[in-house]
Amino acid sequence: MKKLLITAWGLILPLMLLAQGWPNNYGGVMLQGFYWDSYGPTKWTRLTAQADELSQYFDLIWIPQSARAKNATSMGYDPLYWFTNYNSSFGTEAELRTMIQTFKQKGIGTIGDVVVNHRGNVSNWVDFPAETYNGVTYQLKSTDICRNDDGGATLTWANQNGFTLSANNDTGEGWDGMRDLDHKSENVQDNVKAYLNMLLNDFGYTGFRYDMVKGFTSSYIGMYNSNSSPQFSVGEYWDGNPTSVQNWINGTKVENVVQSAAFDFPFRYTARDVVNDKNKKWTALGGSSVISTTSMRRYAVTFIENHDTEKRSNAAQDPIKADTVALNAYMLAMPGTPCIFLKHWMDCKQDIKGMIDVRKAVGIKNTSNYLPYRSNKEYYAVITTGANGRLLTVVGNTNNANILDAIDTDIWINVAEGYHYRYYMETSLETPWIDKASGNYADSVVVRITAVSDNPDAQLVYTTNGSEPTASNGTKAESGTMLTIKDAMTLKVGLLDGGTVTKVVSRQYNIEKPYEGPWATIYLKDPTVAPNNWSNVFFYAWDGDAMIHDTWPGVKVTADTLVRGVKFYYRTFAVPSDAYTFNLIFNQGTSGKQTVDVMGLNSDRYFEVTSTTNKYTVRDITDIMTGDIVVGDVTGDGLVDIADVNAVINIMLGKADSTDAADVNNDGNVDIADVNAVINIMLGKQ
């Protein structure tokens, strides 16, 4: 019996060791690979195409809940299917699997958004889909719904329609949007466990991001993770109190082992308050968060912005209003596992790349120690100790005399800087450095190469053809040398010490020449006049290639032109390839109504705003505005006569619903004078 017991523990122990919430001494960086309504830019195929670039900087990518949701177009937070339907708003199941596998091959783990607090129904308040997976049918019942769901409204409906709910009330906060699941139910537990194991072992996810974990007791996260053993798990415990978040983390313990990390909301709120406050008291960055507690920072996933806090097209939310770049620099210099928001990556890519390069060179881990260095209203400085050396980070007014005087330049060397941030490496790191990250630059880029060394006379040697720099191969240079990169190249820089190159860093630069076309101009028939009477004209544009991503409501368009006597507002877009398309919403600004989405554009097009209910509809009038004017049997009466001429004129004047629009000069007759008037209008002469 004793031998059997030892054998059993030998099988169980590896699983228990794996399921520990989040790895210790982890140096990875995570990307939130979506934002609200990012259906184009974060299609599975689009993300897959970026795998090479992303893998150079990110170790994890968090993607939306990937199964078919209740609504046809959905971010996934209204889950319906768990096992059988993975054709979502972001792509097909095949595309999803290809993406996860591609990321895995490139060294990126995929974090799935897991929404098990609530679930959608098929046809009434309490029915869930029956799904068969690997020969087993899984289905939640009405008895799996919390008794007090929807403030008691679900129970009232169930009683009236002959259904029974669970005898248990919700163990956390309720959400009226969908049915809250009773996690005390064995059936719920069995379904969730099977679902999570499928995500890991069939689809190939690396871990989970649990949505709305305030909705049920944290011990259930412990139960589910100890069963499925994800490498990574992070809960959305949305609370600004560090103690509350830490208590939730500890609440996931199984056999006294933490089973999940949590997002460090206190960290985010501290950062937000610093920059959103008109007085910008940078010293407040020293406020407490989950990473403030040494024993807990391993389980802290830090972030600056996410899909729930960003400013959305239809809601203000709670966005960071300034110094996005500086706050990302601060976050990437601190312990915990930083999670970069996709919009920040898209908008500040080269800065963030450089920050991640520095973080990984210094060897900052999620458990690294840090010590506030100096701070006042204008700046905040902190020293973080990584596995390879120390990093001094200054955010805010980096040129403040007090902080500049406090930095010993014999110990600290400036290796990277941007708007309101600066990084200094400690000289003991003994490494060459290039201050500009790999990537695409317009026309040319000037880079500074630096010898980070205790030896003040340390030299550098570099090559621009991709070959390894040695004492005899390459160009020797002093620390601080500026190089202008005008053509695509691989720049390699080595630290030359006593005739030997001890370390080499590399960057790949691609120089993008000025774009010369082709272009697509989109014209909108003047909506500021009757019957629409818009006060402003905005074009909100986006695409699936991360080339265009306007902030709502887009660009206010004032450029106008006459086309065949008709006034149009217009905006021009680059079209880099035949396959490229972009999308538009015409609108009046933040307070006005908008049109439906106009999709798949890549050439000159003419539109007019037509009727409106919830959203204005749009009519493509390109053929009318650009084609030959030929009078045919427009009215469909079998004849080509004056009625057809009238109809064409009416269309050109945008008066297709008027019966007397052809009487342009309003003299009661339709005659040659009206034809002349129309011609003059179309020629812009009247």
Condensed to tens digits (0 to 9), the pLDDT of residues 368-404 reads 999 999 999 999 999 999 999 999 999 999 999 999 9
Do 503 and 536 share a domain, yes or no? Answer: no
pLDDT value at position 611? 79
Q: What is the CATH number of the domain that holds 431?
A: 2.60.40.10
Range of the structural domain that residue 597 is part of: 519-626
Do 444 and 557 share a domain, yes or no? Answer: no
Do 607 and 475 share a domain, yes or no? Answer: no
368: in domain = no
pLDDT value at position 2? 33
Q: What is the CATH number of the domain that holds 561?
A: 2.60.40
Which is higher by pLDDT, 545 or 677?
545
pLDDT value at position 277? 86
Lowest mean per-residue pLDDT among 46-55, 354-363, 463-472, 604-613: 604-613
**Domain C-terminal end among 512, 545, 575:** 512
344: in domain = no
269: in domain = no
- Tokens 């993975």 correspond to 86
297: in domain = no
Which amino acid, residue 473?
N
Do 51 and 200 share a domain, yes or no? Answer: yes
187: in domain = yes
For 90, the token pair is: 């972001």
What are the CB-based long-range contacts (under 8 Å, 24+) for 71-78?
Answer: 73/39, 75/34, 75/36, 75/37, 75/307, 76/113, 76/115, 77/115, 77/211, 78/120, 78/177, 78/178
Do 529 and 598 share a domain, yes or no? Answer: yes
Whether the predicted pLDDT of 225 surpasses 90: yes
Do 527 and 497 share a domain, yes or no? Answer: no
**Domain C-terminal end among 465, 481, 512:** 512
**How far, in Å, CA of 357 to CA of 354, rounded?**
5
**480-533 pLDDT per residue, tens:** 999 999 999 999 999 998 889 999 999 999 998 777 889 999 999 999 998 888
The average pLDDT across 196-205 equals: 98
Number of other residues whose CB lies within 10 A of the CB of residue 593: 16
Whether the predicted pLDDT of 6 surpasses 50: no
Coil/strand/helix, residue 417: strand
R_g over Cα of the chain: 31
**337-373 pLDDT per residue, tens:** 999 999 999 999 999 999 999 999 999 999 999 999 9
* Three state DSSP letters for 376-393: CCCEEEEEEECCCCEEEE
For 275, the token pair is: 């920059």
Residues in contact with 582: Cβ distance below 8 Å, sequence separation at least 6, in sequence order: 520, 541, 542, 543, 547, 548, 573, 601, 602
Mean residue pLDDT across the chain: 90
Do 567 and 665 share a domain, yes or no? Answer: no
54: in domain = yes
- Going by DSSP bridges, is the β-strand pair 118-119/179-180 parallel, antiparallel, or unpaired? antiparallel
**103-150 pLDDT per residue, tens:** 999 999 999 999 999 999 999 999 999 999 999 999 999 999 999 999
The DSSP bridge partners found for residue 490 are 465, 508
On the question of a cis peptide bond just before residue 266, with omega within 30 degrees of 0, the verdict is no
The average pLDDT across 291-299 equals: 97
The average pLDDT across 455-482 equals: 95
Do 45 and 106 share a domain, yes or no? Answer: yes
For 202, the token pair is: 């069939």
Q: State what percent of residues in the chain have pLDDT above 90.
A: 77
**553-588 pLDDT per residue, tens:** 899 999 999 998 889 999 999 998 888 899 999 999
In the Cβ-directed half-sphere of 230, how many Cα atoms lie within 13 Å? 37
Whether the predicted pLDDT of 68 surpasses 60: yes
**621-649 pLDDT per residue, tens:** 998 888 765 555 555 566 666 766 666 66
Residues in contact with 206: Cβ distance below 8 Å, sequence separation at least 6, in sequence order: 60, 104, 109, 110, 111, 200, 230, 231, 232
302: in domain = no
Do 582 and 535 share a domain, yes or no? Answer: yes
For 86, the token pair is: 């993975």
Q: What is the CATH number of the domain that holds 102?
A: 3.20.20.80
For 345, the token pair is: 């990556």
Domain count, the chain: 4
Q: How confident is the model at residue 7 (pLDDT cuts 50, 70, 90)?
A: very low
281-301 burial code (b ≥16 CB/10 A, e <16): ebbbbeeebbbbeeebbbbbb
pTM for the whole structure:
0.79
Q: What backbone phi and psi angles, to 5 degrees, belong to 551?
A: -85, 135
**401-440 pLDDT per residue, tens:** 999 999 999 999 999 999 999 999 999 999 999 999 999 9
Lowest mean per-residue pLDDT among 17-26, 179-188, 487-496: 17-26
Closest CA to 336 of 295, 387, 375: 295
pLDDT value at position 662? 53
pLDDT value at position 578? 83
Q: How confident is the model at residue 675 (pLDDT cuts 50, 70, 90)?
A: low
237: in domain = yes
For 508, the token pair is: 């790949």
pLDDT value at position 686? 47
Whether the predicted pLDDT of 442 surpasses 50: yes
Do 214 and 247 share a domain, yes or no? Answer: yes
Q: How confident is the model at residue 229 (pLDDT cuts 50, 70, 90)?
A: very high
**Domain C-terminal end among 238, 263, 288:** 263
- Tokens 């650009």 correspond to 626
Do 383 and 501 share a domain, yes or no? Answer: yes
Do 620 and 647 share a domain, yes or no? Answer: no
pLDDT value at position 10? 38
